[in-house]
A and B are shown apart, each in its own frame.
Chain A
């Protein structure tokens, strides 16, 4: 899209290497599921997913490089989700009548 051919675009190796790394990470994630890691398993799995998405965004979707304005938009979607998740949890984490179908009742005050 610029008038000269961007020399960085000439290289295939970075992308192939990144693809390989993402496949490895996917394998790690899969492995994590089968180890008995309890609550840490999803933490690790989603961290790996986030890192893979970061590689996709920065390298494959070419976030690095101009125009830097795109970073603002790339980040703001996730940032805005924090509002939804975070503020909603002020309700769900403290509402005694939630969840409704749990067998063990933690707070008989319901």
Chain B
């Protein structure tokens, strides 16, 4: 295992500290973009739900609550493991950092697993607009819009989560293995952690949108 190399800042930076801080700020700026991207989608959801409350309530009954809730717990826990990995990085506890990152990965994969199973259930329940959507009484026709939102939102979320998984793998197999993450400079890992927690935040909003409609 190579020991930590001395990393020099890029030519436009005065110090590694400045480079790291700027990288973090860059990720927050990117999240403005992501907030508006998902926010626009949630806007269409809100508009249609406000306009068709009873249809949405009927349509949402087919959402698989236990899958959504399990996934919520998994993601919240993964944010915890991710932040514990950062703590370990800050303190130079390399193997602990790797362990927490692997735990985060595992939770991410578990999420995708449950999501995949839920999609399988959804196909079986015939709630795929454009594929096999079966209109239920009291739902027509606007209830289908709930399911359009469901597939677009959870699909895009899953893509973002997969990118997060890819970023963690990149950290583990490339940067950390080459010793580029040290207590002096672990900003790339922080940046990935911010992105990861944002993906968690999106799910926190999607959860009441999808799984808590029309349950009473």
Contact = CB atoms under 8 A, between A and B. Distances in A.
Nearest to B42: A81
A33 B83 contact: no
Contact of A33 (B16, B90, B186, B216): B216
B79 interface: yes
Interface of B: 16-17, 20-21, 24-25, 28-29, 31-36, 39-40, 43, 46-47, 51-52, 69, 72-73, 76-77, 79-80, 82-84, 86-87, 90-92, 141-142, 183-187, 190, 193-194, 197-198, 200-201, 204-205, 207-208, 211-213, 215-216
A15 B88 CA distance: 13
Contacts of A45: 208, 212
A86 to B, nearest CB: 11
A29 B43 contact: no
A85 B46 contact: yes
Contacts of A6: 90
B212 A30 contact: yes
A34 to B, nearest CB: 6
B28 A73 contact: yes
Given A1-B186, A9-B91, A61 B39 contact: no
A42 B28 CA distance: 28
Contact of A99 (B92, B142, B204): B142
Given A26-B73, A42-B208, A81-B39, A73 B31 contact: yes
B215 A73 contact: no
Q: Is the interface of A mostly helix, strand, loop or mixed?
A: helix
12 contacts: A12-B84, A23-B76, A26-B207, A33-B208, A41-B212, A42-B212, A46-B208, A49-B208, A52-B201, A56-B200, A69-B25, A73-B29
Chain B binding site: helix, strand, loop or mixed by DSSP? helix
Given A36-B216, A70-B24, A73-B32, A1 B208 contact: no
Contact of A57 (B87, B190, B201): B201
Contacts of B84: 12, 15
Nearest to B47: A92
A106 B46 CA distance: 20
Interface of A: 1-3, 5-6, 9-12, 15-16, 19, 22-23, 26, 29-30, 32-37, 41-42, 45-46, 48-49, 52-53, 56-57, 60-62, 66-67, 69-70, 73-74, 76-78, 80-81, 84-85, 88, 92, 98-99, 101-102
A19 B36 contact: no
A-B residue pairs, 6 tightest by C-beta: A77-B35, A1-B20, A45-B208, A33-B212, A99-B51, A33-B215
A74 B20 CA distance: 18
B201 A84 contact: no
Contacts of B186: 1
Nearest to A83: B36
A78 to B, nearest CB: 6
A22 B74 CA distance: 12
Contacts of B32: 73, 76-77, 80
